[in-house]
Amino acid sequence: MTLPEKYDKVITGLISGVVLPLIVALVIFLSTSDHSSVHSYLIRIAESGIITHSITLCVFPNIIIFLIFNRLDMLRAARGVLAVTIIWAVIVFGVKFWG
């Protein structure tokens, strides 16, 4: 069994579609937080009105994972990433219009 065949599972895509945005959010926090706490950083983002922009920026790298999985013919994993990205999009719309 080759490596792409081993990891071509929907759960692989689901996990990577959740973990990568969290890693991107952590990198953004560490580079822009000015040594503040996570709570005060999130309050500052909420007060600035850029919550949806921040979530979208963090989820954007899912496109890269999706394209990599698609190129490697790991269609089940790509399906998982697509599902999580759609869930993230619903969250963004919910925050934008009802938050």
Instruction: Tell the residue number behind the tokens 């689901």, with chain if given.
Output: 14
User: What pLDDT shows up at residue 70?
Assistant: 96
User: What pLDDT shows up at residue 37?
Assistant: 92
- DSSP characters over 22-33: HHHHHHHHHHHS
Task: Name residues of the chain where pLDDT drops below 50.
Answer: none
User: What pLDDT shows up at residue 28?
Assistant: 95
Residues 6 or more apart in contact with residue 65 via CB below 8 angstroms: 13, 16, 17, 20, 81
Among the listed residues 61, 60, 68, the one whose alpha carbon sits nearest the alpha carbon of residue 8: 68
Phi, psi of 95 (to 5 degrees): -70, -40
**Domain boundaries defined on the chain:** 3-98
pTM of this prediction?
0.88
